[in-house]
Structure 1
């Protein structure tokens, strides 16, 4: 019988998987924190945030799946010891997720109320008004949460899921602090909760993209100034998404 040599020990797998589970929980608790903190404003605010968060969680999961799938292609190049191809693949992942999430953001901003009516039907006027506000502001954060997920996926591809877990924790801390400031300190209500979420996602996406530039990483992105569309890498990523 041929003995199969394992590349990863159980200890290494735990180091990768446990932070990943914690990160995924933290990623969806941003909206949950908004719901809890607006509960002091009134039922309409809670209803509005809860309704919109069902859309947000769905899109966050799509962005996470896209980032993870694209990072797998990058990991394959790393496994082949093709570092230059891995870096180019990573840049293409950032490019495609950035563009896709930007177009989704634009669609949600333009079709704000029609989308809410289509998904939730007829709802109370006050709830709809607050839902529109929360949906509009959090939609602006879609490109940032998409880029964050792509960066997190790339760190997981090089076996470092702790980075993304720490960034997810930072996102939650920023969100909670700013929620307290904007909701209770400034009296901005649902709008304040949405702004807090937006800022938290912007900050953590910038942090993780900066961390990806470090040449100490097994795979890094040399710069963000020379992005060019490369059909070869894009095709690989899309084929992986379709097959899985």
Structure 2
């Protein structure tokens, strides 16, 4: 319990700093008093989620491999794989970022963005997407610091990014009057700060050095074996959100603004739950590498208890602070109704979402990443499309309720499957050469 709380606690602060970047962007944009700008951020974030999902998958891959090698006392091999993969990942992220920038308007149009909303969302993506490699490196380096046990170092580099945003957002958005473009520029600087501080922090562990060029692909292979299924897993969430935002778009900018506010406030409110997925992964991997099955089971049980406690505390706070939250984002009409419904009851569905995320972490770190893919895509398709489609017949609130109900069975059965895997998995010696 102590180990999980320390790792997840520091991870929470760091992760909250990451989510605070998007939260502050939305907060200052809402000060402009036009829900169309808020809706534009919502559409841009759908594409941003797709990009970040790829980054998260790659960071999971390198974190898992590194943690296993460190648990098996293979420090030099870990450093070799880290440097090869970071170089290859950077190239891949640059290519993906530029491709999305080029095709941003057709993608946004498919999502339902129109007129000013389409123009503003397109400008935001044009500025941030080419620099996708910064957030990819930042996430990977943060995960690597957790893999070597430096939870505080991982926390500090993400805090640095949030501080950059806290300073630049009001300056660019309000003082210079750049609006959504100012939020985009601030986001790029924030992500760059995380990447730079990440490299600086990891250097003291003697894991950053010149890669062996002829081994870049062979070194990266074991990472991609884990990263590719993890990417597919993480793409499920933005894919499901894409259907939700497209369905919600038919009810106007006010409804989109409400949905966007909920999407931005959930990661901040449940930062501890999200941090668990990044923090317990290295713990499970290190104990897997060392052959300690009992500790892996205990880690999963402790994580689930903490998820329940976190959701309960958040529900109380949101229930009491409902009016303050509505005013914070200057929501109107349908947006207000959505936020009230979320604060009263829908927020509880995050218990099952947390159960799903913790279980996926166990699958990824135990060598069963395809199970994560199965459960996440099941939730994003069978657990989203029919429920949201039926809920839409009752308006925006029906969409929100449908999305919440759909996640419940997948969270429950994912936990049962995770414990089954833990109790039956064969523990072998770790080797990547």
Q: Same fold (TM over 0.5)?
A: yes
What does the per-residue CA deviation read over 1:123-152, in whole Å, with 9 as the maximum and x for residues that have no partner? 331111111111111213311000001101
Compute the RMSD of aligned alpha carbons. 1.9
Residue 192 of structure 2: aligned partner: 202
> Is 1:239 aligned with 2:230?
no
**2: CA distance between counterparts of 1:33 and 1:139?**
19
More relative contact order in 1 or in 2 (CA 8 Å, sep 6+)? Answer: 1
- Cα contact 2:88–2:216 (8 A) shared by 1: no
Q: Secondary structure at the match of 2:156?
A: helix
Residue 136 of structure 1: aligned partner: 126
Structure whose CA Rg is larger: 2
Q: Secondary structure at the match of 1:234?
A: helix
**1: CA distance between counterparts of 2:199 and 2:81?**
15
Residue 70 of structure 2: aligned partner: 78
Q: How does 1:177-192 map to 2 (within 5 A)?
A: 177-192=167-182
**1: CA distance between counterparts of 2:169 and 2:115?**
24
**2: CA distance between counterparts of 1:173 and 1:19?**
17
**2: CA distance between counterparts of 1:228 and 1:116?**
40
- Cα contact 1:140–1:198 (8 A) shared by 2: no
Residue 3 of structure 1: aligned partner: none
Distance 1:128 1:228, change over 3 A: farther
Residue 230 of structure 1: aligned partner: 216
> Is 1:124 aligned with 2:114?
yes
Q: Secondary structure at the match of 1:140?
A: helix
**2: CA distance between counterparts of 1:162 and 1:24?**
12
**1: CA distance between counterparts of 2:64 and 2:151?**
14
**1: CA distance between counterparts of 2:217 and 2:178?**
45
**2: CA distance between counterparts of 1:39 and 1:58?**
23
**2: CA distance between counterparts of 1:186 and 1:78?**
48
TM-score under structure 1 normalisation?
Answer: 0.86
Which protein is richer in helix relative to its size? Answer: 2
- Cα contact 2:83–2:209 (8 A) shared by 1: no
What does the per-residue CA deviation read over 1:10-42, in whole Å, with 9 as the maximum and x for residues that have no partner? 323322122223333332231221111011222
Residue 85 of structure 2: aligned partner: 93
- Cα contact 1:44–1:127 (8 A) shared by 2: yes
Residue 7 of structure 1: aligned partner: none
Q: CA deviation at 1:178?
A: 0.4
> Is 1:221 aligned with 2:208?
yes
What stretches of structure 2 of length at least 5 have no aligned partner? 230-367, 370-433
Q: Secondary structure at the match of 2:203?
A: coil
Structure 1 range deviating more: 101-110 or 13-22:
13-22
Q: Secondary structure at the match of 2:208?
A: coil
**2: CA distance between counterparts of 1:19 and 1:134?**
31
Residue 21 of structure 2: aligned partner: 30
Q: Secondary structure at the match of 1:57?
A: helix
- The partner residue of 1:15 within 6, 10, 16 is 6
- Cα contact 2:158–2:194 (8 A) shared by 1: yes
Q: Secondary structure at the match of 1:14?
A: helix
Q: How does 1:103-114 map to 2 (within 5 A)?
A: 103-114=95-106
Q: How does 1:45-64 map to 2 (within 5 A)?
A: 45-64=37-56
Distance 1:228 1:37, change over 3 A: farther
**2: CA distance between counterparts of 1:228 and 1:28?**
38
- The partner residue of 2:202 within 203, 212, 216 is 212
What stretches of structure 1 of length at least 5 have no aligned partner? 1-9
- Cα contact 1:94–1:147 (8 A) shared by 2: yes
- Cα contact 1:71–1:90 (8 A) shared by 2: no
Q: CA deviation at 1:191?
A: 0.6
Q: CA deviation at 1:54?
A: 2.5
Aligned length: 229
